[in-house]
Amino acid sequence: MSPVSPHSGFVDRQHVGRRFARVAASYGEGDFFAREVDRRMQERLDFVKVEPKRILDLGCSRGGSFPGLSARYPDAELIGLDVAPAMLSAGRIPRAGWQRWLGIGRTVEPLRLAADAANLPLKSRSTAIVWSNLLLHWLDDPIPALAETHRVLEVGGLLMFSTLGPDTLKELRAAFADGYAHTQRFADMHDLGDMLVGCGFADPVMDMEVITLTYDDVDAMFAELRAAGSSCAMKARRHGMTGRKSWENGKVAYEAMRKDGRLPATFEVIYGHAWKVEPKKTPDGRAIVRFDLPRKG
């Protein structure tokens, strides 16, 4: 039985799509954090032995992970999937620029699909790697997306992802503690590991690091979050304008956290990977026993 997610029913999915659609045209100027996490994820592939024929980038936005994946796996078909069609369109480049952008040798532009991560338009066991950079915390519930990922992976296939953990933007939550949500709800690393096992993955490996960004002031921080499409999309967020008094109180509380002349913003980055293996049980719970027949001759 799959674990029950504590996140179900809390995220405003339409708001997520609207926010990322709104910043799609200029996202290349605001996605430096996503690109840095992507770079660190790609370094982890140095320790993975796999020769994929197809890679699915789940939550690809404008396709920022494509160049690195293409350079590492030049013979693999790349598919990018995102919920915001505007992101997919903004990432397209002229045909003459494909090879220069994706790396010498590639002649086919990655296929881009607008779809829900919980309902992938791909056949079962059709993909060797599912790559997902900073997507899961935007989902109302990670479990359906993880289950779909498991379905489309071939046996021996790899899921590699990053997401944000509970300490992310802890300063912001503490400063604006007014009863409204000001950040996403972030799953704990160990809960994500349990979700992976519950969805059928084997031997999940999880690790975490803390990245602290600093700002001149609160306004600069919010401007950067908005440029990256990273405003709060929880249903419990404040839907109207923040009152002047609440805003000023929050800024004063955040100012008290200033260190060395700068305001900190913590990001807990969780990295995970897991493999799809042959199932040990049928969907109705019966054990599968495999017999290797002796070779003739």
Per-residue model confidence (pLDDT) at position 231: 87
Distance CA 138, CA 204 (A): 21
173-220 pLDDT, tens digit per residue, is 999 988 889 999 999 999 999 999 999 999 999 999 999 999 999 999
pLDDT at 3 over 50: no
67-124 pLDDT, tens digit per residue, is 999 999 999 999 999 999 999 999 887 655 555 555 555 557 899 999 999 999 999 9
**Residue 41 CB coordination number (10 Å):** 21
Helix then strand then coil, in percent of the chain rounded to 5, is: 35, 25, 40
Assign domain 13-165+187-208+269-275 to its CATH superfamily. Vaccinia Virus protein VP39 (3.40.50.150)
279 — pLDDT class (breaks 50, 70, 90): confident
Burial letters 204-242, b for 16+ CB under 10 A, else e? bebeeeeeeeebeebeebeebbeebbbbbbbeeeeeeee
126-174 pLDDT, tens digit per residue, is 999 999 999 999 999 999 999 999 999 999 999 999 999 999 999 999 9
Q: What is the pTM of this model?
A: 0.87
Distance CA 268, CA 188 (A): 10
- Answer yes or no: are the C-beta atoms of 263 and 214 closer than 8 Å: yes
Conformational region of residue 9, where left means phi above 0, alpha means psi within -120 to 50, and beta covers everything else: left
Query: Mean pLDDT in the chain?
Result: 89
